[in-house]
Amino acid sequence: MTSHYLLNNLSAVPLESASEAQALILNQAKKQVGFIPNMYSNMVNLPALLDTYLHGYGLFRESSDLTPAEQEVVFLAISKANNCHYCMAAHSTLAANYSGVAEDVLTAIRGGDVINDTKLAALYAMAVEVNDSRGRPDAASVRTFLQAGYTELHLLAIILAVSVKVLSNYSNHLFNTEVDDVFATYKIT
């Protein structure tokens, strides 16, 4: 098995040495989050990448019509499916401390176990299926998702979440982004 490519000529961009365009977006991100995550310092090498990520992330949070806990379940499902250790740590931290995801649900997701909450299990399964099928979920799976209480608009929201996570998961793969100390409790070893 060959190892995947890691970027050799790009590195994290500290705010102090950022170009004007990079500094603008990094300062905006710092205002929103309170610090500049390592992922952002990497993504800002191409300011449009970080800008698009932040914009899509904000739109998902604002308009998905999913609860904060459901949003985290979607982000965790996609990040786990894409094997992004950085986003798993970050979204696990958000899930546990800010979004109200029950501890047993977070433990099940992180461990690859059955989620005992039927509705969240259907949401998790649909997020993984939309991601893995590249937007072609099985009709039976969609019926299960809809019967759990979700709508076709929620299906579109999952597509938005997949799009946002592709930006972050894939760039984290290329940079092998180091997990920030604030997310270290949930670092996958």
Q: What is the CATH number of the domain that holds 165?
A: 1.20.1290.10
Q: What is the DSSP string of 39-76?
A: HHHHHTTSHHHHHHHHHHHHHHHHHS---HHHHHHHHH
Closest CA to 171 of 60, 87, 78, 58: 87
Q: How far apart are the first and last CA of the chain?
A: 21
109 located within any domain: yes
46 located within any domain: no
Residues of the chain with pLDDT under 50: none
99 with 71: CB under 8 angstroms? yes
Q: Identify the sign of the CA torsion 43, 86, 66, 160.
A: positive
44 located within any domain: no
Please give the model's pTM, rounded to 2 decimal places: 0.95
62 with 109: CB under 8 angstroms? no
Closest CA to 108 of 156, 56, 158, 73: 73
74 located within any domain: yes
pLDDT at 4: 84
80 located within any domain: yes
pLDDT in tens, 48-66: 999 999 999 999 999 999 9
Residue 168: both structure tokens together: 């972050």
Residues 6+ apart with CB under 8 A from 189: none
88 located within any domain: yes
pLDDT at 10: 95
pLDDT at 170: 98
pLDDT at 2: 58
114 with 85: CB under 8 angstroms? no
Q: Domains in the chain: how many in total?
A: 1
CA distance 103 to 75: 16
pLDDT at 36: 97
Phi, psi of 2 (to 5 degrees): -85, 150
pLDDT at 189: 75
CA distance 96 to 113: 17
Tell me the residue range of the domain where 112 lies. 66-186
pLDDT in tens, 13-36: 999 999 999 999 999 999 988 999
120 located within any domain: yes
11 located within any domain: no
Residue 110: both structure tokens together: 């992180």
